[in-house]
């Protein structure tokens, strides 16, 4: 059991003791009935109907083929409705499972619903982890539910009195809670706004863990699911779609609805998206689609780069490009090392475009982004009916989709150990067997992996298989951090051209250029792209100056002594001579990992509250969470 889970249970037990409970205590039944319960049910009718009519029908097999009870509760822990195994109502303290009963910890002890409410996060409580002995006949998982305004609106739990695999209820509650939240957002906005779904391939856009954005006719984001914020790594409120993706708003609106199209995020991640227009028509839309000869969403200048185009003068990057080019069309696997944000995915895209496999798909799999309980089925595919909740048509799997192309396993170090064993077998045999099937399918792909972890250290700790390590490390390539690169000026030019909002390429003041060259760039190229996008939007038609830069960029910048700077974008020698020391010492924010993690837990993992307490931006907090593997 991991330490985080143990801490959650330990703290819950202490709260139960503080409430005066003991292991032998009987559950304290506090229950609404009659007109009071009817009012509570009416207040939550939208949540109940969404769960019952729009989500549960897709999980009929869960109810039919397992001993599970699905329970929906409000933010007081009060049961609103339940579905599934009726044995809970005839055995095992039936009064506890009635509608209207409150499942707070101080009443029922440690339990999935009550503990999820206390922590504000997804929890799993095994049989003997319930504080009250009378509840130890069951195990359960629960997830808080958030509405379109990101307010907690309830809790969904799945309980079982059978000894099921620990990942079963946890994986299902994650999927179902995400499905409910998606439906709540869609129901609120679908009449008047555009819904934009995106994921890593066109086949899984309808997955419950796809990202969802809601935007108006001007392309301004008015709502998003939590998945979208995690994937894009930033607060999305009131941003424009064009600030997030390399695509024009007119082209998105005029592309045929419900039809997937490829697009690239501003951080150079590749996705497929589709748009669902408002259900209330607003009149005729003008058709901005390009002519049939140039129907691509991206303009020609936005097409993927090849390896040679990535070479902008840094010797370490040039060495990596040269090494990769030499084994490009061999079966030797490539493992790319580098900090978060250095451009590993861009490098892999260029590698694929430069290879003989460029006509075939590049399938990118972020091993950290897919819930651990679902990685196996996503990678290897499954036969219909292979497991509870499986799609009725089965799923081919991402490895088979990469046949004749390139398979890119990003964040490889986060792959669960049981999935590592199956992947090793695929790499050895070059065959994949879907879950629930006895048929093996041959596959032919170029394997490229990436990590920001020390895999050798993971091997020594036992969290990464040694035999798999030697299978994926044919050629090790390290991409330099942005602060170490010698080609910053060329990179700045490229980003300014690529992310210009109009025909005019923004210009930088000498002061900003000096700041860019001296900045430590903890978020690397991804951070530079974000900073330039924000600054260009703030500056409009003006030259970008320090007042257009985001606060967290300034906070990360340390004082430095003035040094000669080479001209860029029209700066003259006399301009450069006048550059002063640009920033004063800025008070350091909380830097001790444990200290800010404690604050994060203290505020119930609320991003806005934690960021305010730490006096940092939400983007900075998101970055720290991702570095700690918490996002």
Question: In angstroms, how far is the first alpha carbon of the chain from the final one?
Answer: 20
HSE, side-chain direction, 13 A CA sphere, residue 574: 0
Q: What is the pTM of this model?
A: 0.48
Give DSSP secondary structure letters for 374-403. GHHHHHH-B-TTSSTT--TT-B--HHHHTT
- Pick the closest to residue 624 from 573, 564, 517, 552 (CA basis): 552
Q: What distance separates the 2 farthest-apart alpha carbons in the chain?
A: 87
Find out whether 210 and 186 touch, Cβ atoms under 8 Å.
no
Residue-level pLDDT at 476: 93
Find out whether 289 and 295 touch, Cβ atoms under 8 Å.
yes
Find out whether 119 and 125 touch, Cβ atoms under 8 Å.
no
Residue-level pLDDT at 336: 95
Q: How far is CA 263 from CA 242, 246, 353, 532, in A?
A: 11, 7, 16, 20
Residue-level pLDDT at 631: 60
Residue-level pLDDT at 139: 87
Q: What is the mean pLDDT of each run of 10 residues along the chain (631 residues)?
A: 84 95 92 90 90 79 67 93 71 79 93 93 91 90 88 90 64 85 90 90 78 89 88 81 86 85 86 88 41 32 70 91 92 92 90 90 83 78 59 74 91 88 91 86 93 91 92 92 92 83 76 89 89 83 84 73 40 35 33 70 74 65 70 60
Query: Cα 316 vs. chain centroid, distance in angstroms?
Result: 30
Per the DSSP assignment, residues forming a β-bridge with 42 are none
Residue-level pLDDT at 569: 41
């Amino acid at each position: 059991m991991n330490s985080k889970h143990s801490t959650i249970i330990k703290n819950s037990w202490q709260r139960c003791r503080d409430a005066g409970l003991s292991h032998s205590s009987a559950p304290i039944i506090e229950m609404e009935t009659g007109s009071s319960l009817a009012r509570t049910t009416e207040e939550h009718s939208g949540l109940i109907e969404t769960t019952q009519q729009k989500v549960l029908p897709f999980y009929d097999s869960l109810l039919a083929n397992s001993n599970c009870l699905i329970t929906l509760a409000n933010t007081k822990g009060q049961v609103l409705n339940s579905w599934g195994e009726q044995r809970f109502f005839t055995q095992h303290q039936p009064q506890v499972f009635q509608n209207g009963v409150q499942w707070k910890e101080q009443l029922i002890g440690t339990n999935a619903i009550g503990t999820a409410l206390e922590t504000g996060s997804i929890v799993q409580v095994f049989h003997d982890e319930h504080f009250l002995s009378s509840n130890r006949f069951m195990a359960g998982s629960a997830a808080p539910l958030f509405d379109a305004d990101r307010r907690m609106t309830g809790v969904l739990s799945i309980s079982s009195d059978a000894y099921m695999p620990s990942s079963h209820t946890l994986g299902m509650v994650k999927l179902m809670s995400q499905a409910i939240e998606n439906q709540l957002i869609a129901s609120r906005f679908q009449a008047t706004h555009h819904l934009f779904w995106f994921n890593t391939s066109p086949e899984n856009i309808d997955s419950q863990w796809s990202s969802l954005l809601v935007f108006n006719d001007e392309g301004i984001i008015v709502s998003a699911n939590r998945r979208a914020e995690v994937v894009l790594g930033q607060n999305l409120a009131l941003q424009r779609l064009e600030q997030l993706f390399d695509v024009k708003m007119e082209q998105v609106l005029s592309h045929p609805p419900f039809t997937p199209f490829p697009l690239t995020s501003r951080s150079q991640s590749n996705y497929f998206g589709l748009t669902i227009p408002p259900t209330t028509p607003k009149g005729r839309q003008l058709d901005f689609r390009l002519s049939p000869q140039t129907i691509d969403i991206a303009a020609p200048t936005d097409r993927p780069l090849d390896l040679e185009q990535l070479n902008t003068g840094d010797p370490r990057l040039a060495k990596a490009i040269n090494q990769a080019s030499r084994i490009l069309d061999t079966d030797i696997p490539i493992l790319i090392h580098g900090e978060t944000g250095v451009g590993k995915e861009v490098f892999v895209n260029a590698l694929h475009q430069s290879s003989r496999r460029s006509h075939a798909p590049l399938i990118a799999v972020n091993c950290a982004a897919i819930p651990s309980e679902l990685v196996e089925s996503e990678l290897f595919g499954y036969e219909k009916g292979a497991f509870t909740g499986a799609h009725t048509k089965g799923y081919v799997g991402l490895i088979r989709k990469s046949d004749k192309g390139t398979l890119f396993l990003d964040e490889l170090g986060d792959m669960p150990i049981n999935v590592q064993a199956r992947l090793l077998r695929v790499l050895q045999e070059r065959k994949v067997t879907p879950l629930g099937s006895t048929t093996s399918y041959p596959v032919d792909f170029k394997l490229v992996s990436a990590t920001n972890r020390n895999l050798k250290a993971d091997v020594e700790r036992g969290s990464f298989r040694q035999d798999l390590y030697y299978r994926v490390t044919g050629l090790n390539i390290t991409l330099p951090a942005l602060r170490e690169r010698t080609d910053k000026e060329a990179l700045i030019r490229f980003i300014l051209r690529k992310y210009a909002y109009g025909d005019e390429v923004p210009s930088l003041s000498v002061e900003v250029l000096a700041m860019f060259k001296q900045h430590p760039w903890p978020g690397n190229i991804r951070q530079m792209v974000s900073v330039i996008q924000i600054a260009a939007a703030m500056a409009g038609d003006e030259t970008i100056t320090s007042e257009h830069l985001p606060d967290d960029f300034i906070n990360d910048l340390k004082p430095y002594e003035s040094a000669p700077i080479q001209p860029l974008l029209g700066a003259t020698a006399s301009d450069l001579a006048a550059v002063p020391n640009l920033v004063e010492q800025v008070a350091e924010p909380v830097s001790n990992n444990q200290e800010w993690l404690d604050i994060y837990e203290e505020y119930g993992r609320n991003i806005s509250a934690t960021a305010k307490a730490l006096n940092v931006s939400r983007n900075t907090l998101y970055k720290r969470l991702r570095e700690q593997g918490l996002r």
